[in-house]
Amino acid sequence: MGVMEKFRIDGKVAWITGAAYGLGMAYAKALAEAGARIVFNCRSQEHLDHAMEEYKAAGVEAYGAIVDVTKEEEVKKFVADVKEKFGPITILFNNAGIIKRIPMTEMSLQEWNQVIDIDLTGPFICSKAVIPDMIEQGGGKIINACSMMSELGRETVSAYAAAKGGLKMLTKNICSEYGQYNIQCNGIGPGYIATPQTAPLRKPQEDGSMNPFDRFIRSKTPAQRWGTTEDLMGLAVFLASPASDFINGQIVYIDGGILAYIGQDPSNLDESKFRGVKEEENIEVNDK
Ligand code: NAP
Ligand code: GCO
């Protein structure tokens, strides 16, 4: 097999959870271009309809359904429906996730549980649903949407960091338990990427000046920019393809160097360089 053939996934059924917009849609488009049949889910009919139009416009033949990753029976039914329609899922991208930015002492138990349920228990439920078919098919790929918060904390994201830290260890455990069946489970660890989820962190202030968090992230990133969904597509294909068959239990960070860099004084940034940055389409994020 030539080296570039190793990045092909023709004929595989790839499920990207939460691929109605944001990173999930970028992952789906990338895997489709590499040859996979794309299936995805989300919770909102409005988002599903919007996504189907966008996939069609991009020439991606995607199958989508309203499935909540925290509802095991919905997940099992979706996996069975997909198997009947297209064949067994042998690539699972656990992408669906929410964040709540609330000081821990002000966060309700319900808010904490909601983040843990979606960001950590959801990947457990979805992985458990597809692993038997992967074993039967002789192998598979599970890619978990980790985060810099799998390694670092920050104010107001306690539940999210706990979930993403747990997801890092779930990744290692699936590797440990199912690697013998030729299943590779790895994590993708994006840095700060411009999507609807992070739009509040980039929103300019009332007077039009730069959002302080935007300035902070740029001062922590060697390239002084936010990542784009395009930046992540190559790694998504790599982790979903035979090119990564001997990589297992790893979290691959794609953060523009933030985790390697102590950062510079935010006041040193020349704000004029960053005016008029194109914003991701501002879809109303459903973190209910
Ligand atoms: P996003 O723009 O908020 O998109 C989240 C997606 O997940 C949407 O399609 C949403 O659709 C779906 N979703 C949410 N809860 C769900 C549930 N219970 N069941 C099914 N679908 C659900 O987020 P993003 O920025 O693309 O991030 C995607 C993943 O990457 C998340 O896990 C996030 O933690 C992680 N990540 C993001 C960044 C970043 O900087 N953006 C960096 C590192 C990691 P509905 O609302 O219709 O359900
Ligand atoms: C935040 C951001 C981050 C990013 C991402 C970084 O509020 O700090 O939302 O959590 O989403 O996870 O890797």
Asked if 247 and 175 count as a contact pair (C-beta separation under 8 A), the reply is no
d(CA 141, CA 41): 18
Distance 136 CA to ligand 2 centre (A): 36
Task: Give 183-223 pLDDT, tens digit per residue.
Answer: 999 999 999 999 989 999 999 999 988 999 999 999 999 99
Q: Which pLDDT score is estimated for 153?
A: 97
CB of 93 shorter than 6 A to ligand 1: no
How sure is the predictor about 282, in pLDDT bands with cuts at 50, 70 and 90?
Answer: very low
More confident residue, 126 or 274: 126
What's the rounded Cα separation, in Å, for the pair 194 and 23?
9
Q: Which atom of ligand 1 is nearest to the CA of 42?
A: 21
- Alpha carbon of 168 to ligand 2 centroid (Å): 15
Burial 235-274 (b: 16+ CB within 10 A, else e): bbbbbbbebbeeebbbbbbebbebeeeeeeebeebeeeeb
pLDDT in the model for residue 1: 81
Whether the model clears a pTM of 0.75, i.e. scores above it, the answer is yes
* Ligand 2 pocket, CB under 6 A: 99, 101, 147-149, 154, 157, 160, 190-192, 197-198, 201
Q: What is the largest CA-CA distance in the chain?
A: 59
In angstroms, the first-to-last Cα distance of the chain is 47
pLDDT category at 280 given cuts 50, 70, 90 is: low
Q: Which of 216, 230, 194, 212 lies closest to 261, judged by CA?
A: 216
The CA distance from 285 to 50, in Å, is: 13
In the reported structure, the alpha carbon of residue 149 is separated from the centroid of ligand 2 by a whole-number distance in angstroms of 7
**Ligand closest to CA 157:** 2
The helix-helix angle for 122-137 and 158-178 (nearest 10°) equals 20
Q: Cα–Cα distance between 219 and 213 in angstroms, integer?
A: 10
**Is 24's C-beta closer than 6 angstroms to any atom of ligand 1?**
yes
In 3D, which of 241, 97, 119 has the Cα closest to residue 170?
119
Does residue 127's CB lie within 6 angstroms of at least one atom of ligand 1? no
pLDDT one-digit tens code per residue, 109-154: 999 999 999 999 999 999 999 999 999 999 999 999 999 999 999 9
223 touches 257 (CB < 8 A) = yes
- Which residues does the annotation mark as catalytic? 160
